[in-house]
Structure 1
């Protein structure tokens, strides 16, 4: 009887020893999976943190560049205004002198000097007057205000310039307003 009792006991021991490595292998595999999951979760958290920092940096960059653009726009005209201030001073002085002036030629000469000074400043900044008088009408650079009966030689050409056109650094900023011959 003792052999019979020992035999089942040996079977149980043998089963236990066979299942123990299986259990250890399963537990080991589960532990590895948990470690892998933890590692991936940690990497995900790091990537989220990097993303949030990058997003904050980008928002700061956008705010900073928007502020810089506004500053540039606010001060863009400062350069031209500084150059025009001496002309304005001359115009104000001329205005004071006009009321007391008796010499018309001196007034004309003063006005010519102021006009030349103003032209010089605008040319330095890239402003150019567009020629139109006597040229064939060009819809790309001119605006026809009206048509006027003119001789055959002036048909389709500019008879009169009502308002000069201007370019600033080769870009049209005002079209010439003209009268075209028909």
Structure 2
């Protein structure tokens, strides 16, 4: 539906640009004919100064008409590029809101799995939870979701949100992520949630 509307808009603007271009060509042709007429008059008339002035005026009008057409064409070309980019972005992030709403469920799965790990006689429950979590993660991965690997990485403000800083456990961990409090996610290589991390100082 969005594509059809955009295509109609583009076709309409193309037709409008084409019609304005035809009008400008017609105007240019009329101005050129007027110039030729003035040239002929110039050879027969004693009022050459006035005719020369009229010729200069027509030349400036012709230049103005050509400049208007060039600006109009440039504006249309920019519009076409912008709508093409917006269409691509819309297709890539069409399910963004749905996926964002599922992220807390992924967090709950992770917490439940951690809580179960230390207990006895929960093997069947553990296996079931793992199957559900893996199935859900696999489905989201197919939709373009990617989990950030933040642990041990150099802190980047474009990917991470620093919750706090603690003394680094080793010299090489300074300025790096020493703990991840909440995972970050990318959708088609665009950040949809920053990773909440602890940074070594």
TM-score interval w.r.t. the shorter chain? 0.3 to 0.5
TM-score, L = length of structure 1: 0.44
TM-score, L = length of structure 2: 0.40
Higher alpha-carbon Rg: 1
